[in-house]
Amino acid sequence: MRIETLLSKFAIKGINYDPLSGGGKALLSAEEQLAVVGLCWHESPVGWLVLFVEGLRDVHALKQLQIATRGETLRLMEDWRGVYPEKALTALCATAIAEATQQNGQVCPECDGAGKVLSKCNHQRKCQCCKNGRIEWTQETRFAYFAQVLPVTYSRFKQYYKILNKLTHWLDFNRESVVMSVNKKIKEERMVSEMFN
């Protein structure tokens, strides 16, 4: 069921090619639906890993994504002037992955994502910390996340931010590549389905 959760994000359903069936159960099994994913995997393996982490909270995909992101971070930091600790790489990867997999923002710790809090008088109030239960990504929230791994000054973080920005764009680009390739595949499948109906 977990993989179907991810597939439902793209509205991938079993497409029934039998015109006499009139609906009902799909002819494509979960394995065949996964084949659609397999056909698009080569487009962007990193993008799929981002989606597996985002949609399924897949721990194994997260480990692979961390390895891939670390490699990209090292590539981006080849021209870095000066020294940086090993924790800087970890902080950059963790922050970029968090932003790429939580695009609507982090769950607010003050209201636990509810968007409302109780006042001292037990009246519900709109949470002052977030927007609809999510704290949107800004330079300040990125700094707060980054500083959990590598506590540095804000001025030092601004130097790392140049790399972080490129890294986040790289992850987003890979994610969008997957979305576009799957949507293209779905359109092709629907056209074939309509030919048989």
Q: How large is the angle between the packed helices 86-101 and 45-56, nearest 10 degrees?
A: 70
pLDDT tens-place values along the chain, 197 residues long: 455 566 666 555 444 444 444 444 554 555 666 666 666 677 788 998 998 898 888 899 999 999 999 999 999 999 888 899 999 999 999 999 999 999 889 999 999 999 999 888 989 999 998 988 999 999 999 999 999 999 999 999 999 999 999 999 999 999 998 888 877 776 776 777 677 66
CA distances from 145 to 68, 76, 88 (A): 20, 20, 12
* pTM for the whole structure: 0.79
Distance separating alpha carbons of residues 183 and 85, to the nearest angstrom: 41
User: Residue 151 in 3-state DSSP?
Assistant: coil
For 10-150, where are the alpha helices, taking DSSP H only? 30-41, 45-56, 59-76, 86-101, 139-149
| Spans of all domains in the chain | 2-196
Distance separating alpha carbons of residues 47 and 172, to the nearest angstrom: 8
